[in-house]
């Protein structure tokens, strides 16, 4: 077994470890820190590149899953080594309603700290982390690069978090994503 | 990651005998081009397998990606309530380039779906069923569309006719051995 604390081994960070804080550009003029999201669960989804050409696209799927993630109070953040303008175009084209962070300079530094960098290709791995409200990793998963890992592992991990008080059903996720999404219309 | 696939239930859209040795479940989106590609293949597979196959279609509309996906799914629920689900399903996959409300309304008329039934569907009457399909699928590992499950196990292999028939044949043979006479 490799020591997950030794960054040189590139081992994926494991449950129980503190999630390393970071600050990355979310848009050309805004930055987001992991610590900004403290107080609620966070899903970190590292992925190799924007513009995956299929309907099975992982970020597109997670975009559709946002109401389910929000039901657990969780925030989703995507991270790749693409730059902010690339992310902006991708997010607009795919109508993504969650932040994509640019792990662009120094390239892949955050991915490396999470053991989720693929040095031979210069991209982030397809790696998932569920971090609890206190900033501790509660679940992590490294997917084969070519295989969309889906959302089931994330949903299971969120279910397994110690339940936090849930918002009343009636005003559950107050997100603009719901307006156009079937999940808002279940009354 | 194939646990907890929801069992076939009364709200499911089913073609083929309940006691077929193989159940193939497709999670699909009516506007997804890859589902459109899979449609004639799955038809041919159903034909080849005959009574050995039970085929189930479940909704997995990618509503942010596909502007007409939800309306199309609602339309097929109205069709299901009118007893013409499969005709509606086929019609949409044969007309993926025309899934706007006007087109759906015209298809409904052709299929004899009452206008009030279609309107109720568009107003969300069946959205809970659609959402149940979607969430159940996501929790069972649906990672895009189309996503196929063979006897409860996600199938990630090639989706050409011959490959599918081979894998379904094998699943049928296994199931027939397992089931006591």
Instruction: Say what the pLDDT of residue A123 is.
Output: 94
Q: Which residue does chain B place closest to A93, by CA atoms? A: B65
**Residue A145 banded pLDDT, cuts 50, 70, 90:** confident
Which of A55, A148, A183 is closest, CB to CB, to B32?
Answer: A55
Which of B70, B140, B142 is closest, CB to CB, to A182?
Answer: B70
Verify whether the Cβ–Cβ distance B138 to A153 is below 8 Å: no
Please indicate if any CB of chain B lies within 8 Å of the CB of A182. Answer: yes
**Residues of A that are catalytic:** 55
Say if residue B5's pLDDT is above 90: yes
SS3 B23: strand
To the nearest whole Å, the CA of B170 is away from the closest chain A CA by 24
Q: What is the mean pLDDT of chain B?
A: 95
* B62 Cβ contact partners less than 8 Å away, ≥ 6 residues apart: A55, A60, A61, A64, B29, B31, B32, B69, B145
**Which of A47, A59, A61, A160 is the best mutation test for B, with the most CBs of B within 10 A?**
A61
Is B77 within 8 Å of B121 (Cβ atoms)? yes
Is A2 exposed, middle or buried, given 0-12, 13-18 or 19+ CB atoms closer than 10 A? exposed
- Chain A residues touching B32 at Cβ < 8 A: 55
What percent of chain A stands above pLDDT 90?
Answer: 74
Verify whether the Cβ–Cβ distance B65 to A186 is below 8 Å: no
To the nearest whole Å, the CA of B64 is away from the closest chain A CA by 6
Which run of H or of E encompasses B154?
strand B153-155
Q: Is the ipTM of this complex over 0.90?
A: no
Is B90 within 8 Å of B57 (Cβ atoms)? no
Structure tokens given for B73: 């799914």
Mean pLDDT of B77-89: 98
**Which of B26, B59, B65, B145 is the best mutation test for A, with the most CBs of A within 10 A?**
B65
**Residue A99 banded pLDDT, cuts 50, 70, 90:** very high
Q: Which residue does chain A place closest to B123, by CA atoms? A: A185
- Chain B residues touching A65 at Cβ < 8 A: 138
What percent of chain A stands above pLDDT 70?
Answer: 79
Q: Please name each of the domains of chain A with its CATH number.
A: 22-162 (3.40.30.10)
**Residue A56 banded pLDDT, cuts 50, 70, 90:** low
Say if residue A164's pLDDT is above 70: no
**Residue A57 banded pLDDT, cuts 50, 70, 90:** confident
- Chain B residues touching A95 at Cβ < 8 A: 64-65
Q: Please name each of the domains of chain B with its CATH number.
A: 13-178 (3.40.30.10)
> Pick the residue with more confidence: A183 or B89?
B89
Instruction: Say what the pLDDT of residue B2 is.
Output: 44
Q: Which of A148-152, A160-164, B155-159 shows the lowest mean pLDDT across its residues?
A: A160-164
Instruction: Say what the pLDDT of residue A6 is.
Output: 43
Say if residue B15's pLDDT is above 50: yes
Mean pLDDT of B84-92: 98
Verify whether the Cβ–Cβ distance B156 to A147 is below 8 Å: yes
Say if residue A180's pLDDT is above 70: no
Say if residue B88's pLDDT is above 90: yes
Mean pLDDT of B48-59: 97
Say if residue A177's pLDDT is above 70: no
> Pick the residue with more confidence: A4 or A20?
A20
Evaluate the omega torsion of the peptide bond into residue B50 and state whether it is cis, within 30 degrees of 0. no
Mean pLDDT of A15-28: 97
Q: Which of A2-16, A27-41, A78-92 shows the lowest mean pLDDT across its residues?
A: A2-16
Instruction: Say what the pLDDT of residue A154 is.
Output: 97
């Amino acid at each position: 077994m490799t020591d997950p604390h030794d960054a040189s081994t590139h081992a994926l960070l494991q449950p129980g470890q503190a999630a390393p804080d970071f600050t990355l550009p979310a848009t050309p003029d805004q930055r987001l820190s992991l610590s900004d999201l403290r107080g609620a669960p966070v899903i970190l989804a590292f992925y190799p590149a924007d513009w995956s050409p299929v309907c099975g696209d992982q970020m597109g799927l997670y975009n559709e899953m946002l109401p389910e993630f929000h039901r657990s109070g969780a925030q989703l953040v995507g991270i790749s080594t693409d730059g902010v303008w690339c992310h902006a175009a991708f997010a607009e084209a795919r109508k993504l309603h969650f932040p994509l962070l640019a792990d662009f300079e120094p390239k892949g530094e955050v991915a490396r700290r999470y053991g989720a960098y693929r040095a031979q290709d210069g991209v982030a791995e397809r790696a998932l982390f569920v971090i609890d409200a206190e900033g501790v990793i509660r679940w992590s998963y490294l997917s084969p690069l070519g295989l969309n890992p889906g959302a089931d592992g994330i949903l299971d991990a969120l279910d397994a978090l110690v339940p936090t008080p849930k918002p009343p059903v009636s005003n559950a996720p107050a997100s603009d994503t719901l307006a156009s999404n079937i999940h808002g219309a279940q009354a | 990651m194939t646990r907890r696939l929801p069992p076939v239930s009364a709200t499911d859209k089913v073609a083929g005998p309940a006691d077929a040795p193989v159940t193939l479940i497709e999670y699909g989106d009516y506007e997804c081009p890859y589902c459109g590609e899979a449609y004639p293949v799955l038809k041919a597979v159903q034909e080849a397998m005959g009574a050995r196959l039970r085929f189930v279609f479940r909704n997995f509309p990618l509503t942010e990606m596909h502007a007409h996906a939800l309306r199309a799914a609602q339309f097929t629920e109205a069709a299901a309530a009118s007893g013409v689900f499969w005709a509606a399903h086929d019609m949409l996959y044969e007309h993926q380039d025309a899934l706007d409300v006007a087109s759906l309304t015209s298809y409904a008329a052709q299929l004899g779906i009452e206008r009030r039934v279609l309107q109720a569907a568009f107003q969300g009457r069946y959205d809970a069923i659609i959402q149940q399909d979607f969430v159940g699928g996501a929790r069972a590992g649906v990672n895009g569309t189309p996503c196929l499950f063979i006897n409860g196990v996600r199938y990630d292999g090639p989706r050409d006719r011959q490959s599918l028939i081979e894998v379904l044949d094998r699943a049928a043979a296994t199931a027939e051995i397992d089931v006591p006479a």
